[in-house]
Amino acid sequence: MKMKYFASIILPMYNSARTIGETLDGLEKQNRSDFEIIVIDDGSKDDSVSIVEDFKRRSRLPVTILKQANAGPARARNNGVTHTDSEIVIFLDSDCIPHENLVEVLAGSLNREKKVAACSCVFKGMDKVNIAARYIDLEITRRQEKLIGRYVDAIATMAAAYYKDVFEELGGFDTSFRRASGEDYDFAYKVQKAGYKIFFTDQTWVHHYHVDTLKKYLKQQYTRGYWMVPLFLKNREKIVRGDSYSGHEAQVQFILSCLALLSIPLAFWKPYALAIGFGLLLLSNLTLGVWAFKRDQRFLLLAPVIASLRSLAGTIGVFRSTLDIIGGIAWRSSRN
């Protein structure tokens, strides 16, 4: 008979050899040990599995390794949940290093009487020197500040606890999201709509290695913009209302980015259009620069510039996704 644990850590990975060892070592150092680890390998082609197998041989914790053909983190997490009998499941990303009280705090924040069915925590960058990584850490920190100690409607699965029965009741993550770009927010929206609460705490945290070049960061933002379209099509009320993590920032930045991009062809007729279009986008991000300056003086001007490039990359991703959706509809119509 399979033992029932206090909680189960659901840990999907894909080509995670660079970080998975630190993630597992962080779980080994937790201040309680009555939990299991379920690692789901999503078709890795590197040494990820062998690293996990080595950890399993020397660890005091029970570790299960599941393998699946590459299908994305949403399917991997759902797969992991089906292999546990624990009351609580804690999702952890394979590049996140947990603080020693992570399991205790996340699980302890759930409360059936108060209908608190989910909890997430602070996300801290490891790299304080690299410009790109430091910028990402500052931007995330600023957004997280307004969430601490509150009930929210949007959390990422880099470190998040759920009651397993609530997770199953609501159908788990939408596996049509084949990339890590929206399936967690989509499910969080669903949790709140069902009448449950999601709590955000700063009493624990995970450390993370953010991408370390501007090129990688902008590529990441392009991908997130791409998947934002199906996310908002599924949750259309968020287009107007926004969510607790970004408020209406995404909508405002999208509009200003569109104006900036539109100013490029207009500049052939009205040369000042370019200055107006991109100037408005930069001005909208000055408050971020002022906030960042108080923590790292390098970012007074750098932060607005990088934030504007981020918004442009995301907007281009939105355009590409929209064109792909329209093209898919047109193709299906031509087949009928």
Torsion of CA 49, 54, 56, 57, to 10 degrees: 150
Q: How far is CA 284 from CA 229, 238, 250, 278, 307, in A?
A: 23, 21, 12, 10, 9
Same domain membership, residue 236 and residue 163: no
Per the structure, the complete domain to which residue 261 belongs is given by 232-335
Same domain membership, residue 241 and residue 199: no
Is 33 inside a domain boundary? yes
For residue range 230-285, what is the model confidence (pLDDT) as tens digits? 999 999 999 988 899 988 898 999 999 999 999 999 999 988 999 999 999 999 99
Same domain membership, residue 283 and residue 166: no
- How far apart, in whole angstroms, are the C-alpha atoms of residue 90 and residue 81? 10
pLDDT for 115: 97
Same domain membership, residue 266 and residue 177: no
For residue range 184-227, what is the model confidence (pLDDT) as tens digits? 999 999 999 999 999 999 999 999 989 999 999 999 999 999 99
| Interior angle at CA 202, CA 254 and CA 165, nearest 5 | 85
Same domain membership, residue 173 and residue 84: yes
Same domain membership, residue 102 and residue 45: yes
Please answer whether residues 273 and 216 qualify as being in contact, where contact means their C-beta atoms are separated by less than 8 angstroms: no
Residues 162-180, mean pLDDT to the nearest whole number: 93
Is 97 inside a domain boundary? yes
Q: Final residue of a domain: which of 211, 241, 256?
A: 211
Same domain membership, residue 45 and residue 192: yes
Q: pLDDT over 70 for what percent of the chain?
A: 97
Q: What is the CATH number for 17?
A: 3.90.550.10
Same domain membership, residue 153 and residue 24: yes
For residue range 54-72, what is the model confidence (pLDDT) as tens digits? 999 999 999 999 999 999 9
- How far apart, in whole angstroms, are the C-alpha atoms of residue 222 and residue 314? 4
**21 has a pLDDT exceeding 80:** yes
Q: Specify the pTM.
A: 0.93
pLDDT band at 331 (very low <50, low <70, confident <90, very high): low
Residues 150-157, mean pLDDT to the nearest whole number: 92
Same domain membership, residue 73 and residue 185: yes
**182 has a pLDDT exceeding 90:** no
Question: At 111, is the secondary structure helix, strand, or coil?
Answer: strand
Q: pLDDT over 90 for what percent of the chain?
A: 86
Is 225 inside a domain boundary? no
C-alpha gyration radius of the chain: 21
- How far apart, in whole angstroms, are the C-alpha atoms of residue 240 and residue 335? 35
Question: At 315, is the secondary structure helix, strand, or coil?
Answer: helix
- How far apart, in whole angstroms, are the C-alpha atoms of residue 260 and residue 281? 7
- How far apart, in whole angstroms, are the C-alpha atoms of residue 307 and residue 253? 9
Q: Is 334 exposed, middle or buried (0-12, 13-18, 19+ CB in 10 A)?
A: exposed
**1 has a pLDDT exceeding 50:** no
Q: Final residue of a domain: which of 211, 240, 268?
A: 211
Task: Outline where DSSP puts E strands in the chain.
Answer: 7-13, 35-41, 63-67, 88-92, 96-98, 116-125, 150-152, 159-163, 197-208
- How far apart, in whole angstroms, are the C-alpha atoms of residue 186 and residue 208? 22
pLDDT for 234: 94
How is residue 15 annotated by DSSP?
S
Is 167 inside a domain boundary? yes
**179 has a pLDDT exceeding 90:** no
Looking at every residue in the chain, the average pLDDT score rounds to 93
Domains contained in the chain, number? 2
Is 285 inside a domain boundary? yes
| Interior angle at CA 129, CA 137 and CA 131, nearest 5 | 65
Same domain membership, residue 247 and residue 126: no
**335 has a pLDDT exceeding 70:** no
pLDDT for 126: 87
Q: Final residue of a domain: which of 161, 176, 211?
A: 211
**165 has a pLDDT exceeding 80:** yes
Same domain membership, residue 298 and residue 172: no
**330 has a pLDDT exceeding 80:** no
Is 191 inside a domain boundary? yes
Is 217 inside a domain boundary? no
Please answer whether residues 263 and 276 qualify as being in contact, where contact means their C-beta atoms are separated by less than 8 angstroms: yes
**334 has a pLDDT exceeding 80:** no
pLDDT for 178: 81
